[in-house]
């Protein structure tokens, strides 16, 4: 089985985030594999272990993303590809990413492409479905269970607190949701072995693309942090007065009643 | 001497940190309450390869040298010390005897299972009458045909209830004193091997220390570890080898205490300012940081010497002494900085404070380390 995983290096949203000049300051930020992509990597490993085959993890980014690729290899992926756009792409959006991936997959054979349901940084959730559309293959999002039998896949997906069961033919692109599996930690021997696994580096040129082909279709106007939580208000005085004041505040200040 | 960790070691270290700080820290309170490390954590640690830290490369493991091992031990030390001790005793004194002294047959037989954690290792030297005076053993081993028959009682044996493979010291020739002691590899399933009472302790919950009773316990001759009569020397070697690792684990605990103290001292306000702004608190923190930095340098210097194949008897004793004494001083200051909260069991500080105390006692007391240092100095100056 030929399995591909789309992986994104993201900053850790549990760490402190600083914005400078309309961009997230990368200096102090911690970077991780997008957690939803970890589900995709884990699922790929389980599929490969059950059905045989090979896992290739693909990412778009700069040299720094090598670390996350090495982690994926240490978890158990077989090969990795870094599409290095550091020098070629200044601004990007989902169009850019899909266009690059589309070119990458043009000459590839695949049975299964797994991606995270969403990336925790920009949270568009668009890459998987848009790539599937470009490649003209079926796509199932937010999956919580996956069984492959020959050229069919039985999938369960999360739909607003309910489960939808789907049968689909391969090749298929799926996006992975929490609950699908518990991603493993890379083992220490796995980390040492990962050094010898292939890490291929490509640039736009190698995919017959130039900067204009991948120019974003959207423009980011502003990036800002959520407003800081203000201290709560403690009402004082007689209960009746407090209730009156509270109703007044809810009506006039919070405007919720 | 280059103390910089290679990219590989750094990457391994980060991954161990991630696992320990996410998974083990999440159950630290539970370990304390239930006196048991959850099976899930033990299994995950095995899957990660943490049980194989001492196993050489030719047996399929990491081969990262003492520097690498210390780097990872630092991370293993930065959490509940019961967990730290399970890993530390297994990969330290529980495994290194076979690694250092085993025949190729013994290594083939035992190391792969010790590496994967399928089998747990322990070290059984201490007896009711033989603690610091390790040569005063009463356990006997009498050769009968293809077997030695062992009789005696060991106590305070770390990992005794979990372990499958024990490095046991016993007297084969009572007339020769320390030179009449031999070390054996004893499996828990050998006839006549029993685990006795489990001790209740001040700390290190989740790590169990128990008695081992050897009652006509039959050990095949091929399980003699090293040469007959070399058991005392072997025991000292195994303990010396473990000392740098122990210091590294103490270093990890100290760093964790500094991290917690810094966080607390910057958040907690008294007299309208964070308490770190009060000189009394700030100075305690700076004293902690200085000692931790000195311990770090010392640990990696000794690790470096081990990797260069140098003899480190004096340095390892100094390091064990210093590491455990620093850990106790740092833990004491951490309690003081945290005030009342440092004394409350819902918060980890008092746990580290109790757990720190044993490091001045086990694997050679502070007093014994000083004896070793004096002995070595006397040789140097004679």
Say yes or no for a CB contact (<8 Å) between B52 and A188: yes
- Quote the distance between the C-alpha of residue B66 and its chain's center: 14
Q: Please report the pLDDT score of residue A223 as a whole number.
A: 86
Q: Could you report the per-residue pLDDT of B220-271, keeping only the tens digit for each?
A: 999 999 999 998 888 888 888 788 899 999 999 999 999 999 999 999 999 9
Give me the residue spans of the domains in chain A. 2-214, 226-257
3-state secondary structure of A233: coil
Which CATH number is correct for B242-381, 3.30.470.10, 1.20.1260.10, 3.30.465.10, 1.20.140.10? 1.20.140.10
pLDDT-wise least confident of A27-31, A153-157, A180-184, B99-103: A27-31
User: What's the pLDDT at B2?
Assistant: 67
Least CB-CB distance to A187: which of B8, B48, B53? Answer: B48
A251 vs A13 pLDDT, higher one = A251
Of all residues in chain A, the one with the smallest CA distance to B62 is A189
Our answer to whether residue B187 is catalytic in this structure is no
B72 CB neighbours in chain A (<8 A) are: 188
Reported pTM = 0.89
Q: How many residues does chain A have?
A: 257
Distance, CA of A234 to CA of A239 (rounded, Å): 12
Q: Give the residue extent of every domain in chain B.
A: 7-116, 121-229, 242-381
Interface of B with A in 40-59 (CB under 8 A): 44, 47-50, 52-53
Q: For position A230, what pLDDT does the model report?
A: 82
pLDDT digits (tens, 9 = 90+) for B87-129: 999 999 999 999 989 999 999 999 999 999 999 999 999 998 8
Asked if B71 contacts B13 with a C-beta cutoff of 8 angstroms, the reply is: yes
Phi, psi of B197 (to 5 degrees): -65, 140
| Right CATH for B7-116 from 3.40.50.10190, 1.10.540.10, 2.60.120.260, 3.40.50.261 | 1.10.540.10
Domain A2-214 sits in which CATH superfamily? HUPs (3.40.50.620)
Q: Which residues make Cβ contacts (< 8 Å) with residue B111, sequence separation at least 6?
A: B55, B56, B59, B95, B98, B99, B102
- In tens, the pLDDT along B172-220 reads 999 998 899 999 999 999 999 999 999 999 999 999 999 999 999 999 9
What are the tens digits of pLDDT across the range B298-346? 999 999 998 898 889 999 999 999 999 999 999 999 999 999 999 999 9
Predicted confidence (pLDDT) at residue A20 exceeds the cutoff of 90: no
Q: What tokens does A123 get?
A: 């949270």
In 3D space, the residue among B230, B222, B189, B188 whose CA is nearest the CA of residue B109 turns out to be B222
Question: Is the CB of residue A177 less than 8 Å away from at least one CB of chain B?
Answer: no
CA–CA distance, B169 with B186 (Å, rounded to integer): 10
Q: What confidence category does residue B1 fall into, taking pLDDT thresholds of 50, 70 and 90?
A: low
Kindly list the residues from chain B whose CB atom is less than 8 angstroms away from the CB atom of residue A71: 15
Catalytic residue among B227, B291, B363, B380: B363
pLDDT tens sequence across A85-129: 988 888 889 999 999 999 999 999 999 999 999 999 888 999 999
- Residue to mutate among B24, B49, B87, with most A CBs inside 10 A, is B49
Whole-number average pLDDT of chain B: 94
**A130: CB partners within 8 A, 6+ apart:** A94, A98
Into which CATH architecture does domain B121-229 fall? Beta Barrel (2.40)
| DSSP, res B119 | S
Lowest-confidence segment of A191-200, A222-231, B290-299 by average pLDDT? A222-231
Asked if residues B84 and B249 have their Cβ atoms less than 8 Å apart, the reply is yes
Please check whether residue B363 is in contact with residue B93, taking contact to mean a CB–CB distance below 8 angstroms. yes
Dihedral angle, C-alpha A132, A137, A143, A146, nearest 10 °: -140
Q: Taking chain A, what is the end-to-end CA distance rounded to the nearest angstrom?
A: 58
Give percent above pLDDT 90 in chain A: 76
- The dihedral through the CA atoms of A227, A229, A234, A240 has a sign that is positive
pLDDT class of B132 with cuts at 50, 70, 90: confident
| Cβ–Cβ gap A185/B48 under 8 Å | yes
Q: Is B19 on the interface with A (CB under 8 A)?
A: yes
How far, in Å, CA of B364 to CA of B321, rounded? Answer: 9
Interface confidence (ipTM) of the complex: 0.86
3-state secondary structure of B367: helix
Mutate to test the interface with A, among B16, B23, B48, B69 (most CBs of A within 10 A): B48
| pLDDT at site B60 | 67
CA A64 – CA A10 distance, rounded (Å): 11
pLDDT at A32: 94
Rounded CA-CA distance A170/A132 in Å is 12
């Amino acid at each position: 089985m030929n399995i591909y995983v789309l992986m994104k290096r993201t900053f850790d949203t549990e760490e402190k985030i600083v914005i400078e000049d309309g961009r997230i300051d990368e200096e102090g930020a911690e970077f991780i594999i997008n957690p939803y992509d970890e589900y995709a990597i884990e699922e790929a490993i389980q599929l490969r272990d059950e059905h045989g085959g090979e896992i290739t993890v693909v990412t778009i980014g700069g040299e720094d993303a090598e670390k996350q690729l090495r982690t994926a290899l240490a978890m158990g992926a077989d090969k990795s590809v870094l599409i290095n756009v550091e020098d070629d792409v200044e601004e990007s959006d989902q169009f850019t990413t899909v266009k690059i991936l589309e070119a990458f997959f043009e000459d590839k054979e695949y049975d299964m492409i797994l991606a995270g349901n969403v990336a925790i940084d920009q949270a568009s959730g668009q890459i998987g479905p848009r790539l599937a559309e470009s490649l003209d293959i079926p796509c199932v999002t937010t999956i919580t269970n996956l069984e492959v039998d020959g050229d069919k896949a039985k999938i369960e997906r999360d739909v607003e607190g309910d489960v939808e069961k789907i049968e689909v033919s391969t090749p298929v692109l799926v996006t992975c949701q929490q609950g699908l599996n518990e991603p493993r930690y890379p083992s220490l021997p796995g980390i040492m072995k990962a050094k010898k696994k292939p890490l291929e580096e490509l640039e736009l040129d190698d995919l017959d693309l130039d900067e204009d082909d991948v120019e974003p279709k959207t423009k980011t106007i502003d990036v800002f942090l959520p407003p800081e939580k203000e201290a709560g208000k403690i009402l004082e005085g007689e209960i009746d007065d407090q209730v009156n004041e509270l109703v007044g505040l809810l009506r006039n200040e919070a405007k919720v009643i | 001497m280059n103390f910089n960790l290679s990219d590989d070691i750094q990457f391994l270290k980060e991954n161990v940190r991630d696992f320990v700080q996410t998974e083990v820290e999440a159950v630290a309170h539970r370990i304390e309450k239930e006196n048991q490390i959850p099976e899930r954590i033990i299994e995950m640690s095995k899957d990660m390869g943490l049980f194989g830290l001492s196993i050489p490369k030719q047996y399929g493991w990491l081969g990262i040298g003492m520097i690498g091992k210390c780097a990872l031990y630092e991370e293993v030390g930065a959490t509940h010390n019961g967990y730290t001790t399970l890993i530390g005793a297994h990969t330290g004194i529980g495994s290194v005897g076979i690694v250092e002294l085993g025949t190729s047959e013994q290594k083939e037989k035992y190391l792969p299972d010790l590496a994967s954690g399928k089998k747990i290792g322990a070290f059984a030297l201490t007896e009711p009458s033989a603690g610091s005076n390790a040569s005063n053993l009463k356990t006997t081993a009498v050769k009968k045909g293809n077997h030695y028959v062992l009789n005696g009682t060991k106590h305070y044996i770390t990992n005794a209830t979990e372990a499958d493979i024990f490095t046991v010291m016993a007297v084969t020739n009572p007339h020769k004193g320390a030179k009449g002691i031999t070390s054996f590899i004893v499996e828990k399933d050998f006839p006549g091997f029993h685990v006795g009472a489990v001790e209740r302790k001040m700390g290190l919950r989740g790590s169990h220390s128990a008695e081992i009773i050897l009652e006509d316990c039959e050990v095949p001759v091929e399980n003699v570890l090293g040469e007959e009569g070399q058991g005392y020397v072997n025991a000292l070697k195994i303990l010396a080898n473990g000392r740098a690792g122990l210091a590294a684990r103490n270093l990890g605990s100290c760093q964790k205490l500094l991290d917690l103290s810094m966080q607390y001292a910057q958040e907690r306000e008294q007299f309208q300012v964070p308490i770190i702004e009060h000189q009394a608190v700030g100075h305690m923190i700076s004293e902690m940081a200085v000692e931790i930095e000195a311990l770090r340098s010392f640990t990696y210097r000794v690790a470096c010497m081990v990797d260069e194949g140098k003899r480190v008897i004096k340095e390892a004793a100094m390091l064990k002494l210093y590491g455990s004494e620093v850990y106790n001083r740092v833990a004491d200051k951490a309690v003081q900085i945290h005030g009342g909260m440092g004394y409350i069991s819902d918060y980890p500080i008092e746990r580290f404070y109790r757990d720190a105390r044993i490091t001045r006692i086990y694997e050679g007391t502070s007093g014994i380390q000083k004896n070793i240092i004096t002995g070595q100095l006397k040789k140097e100056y004679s």
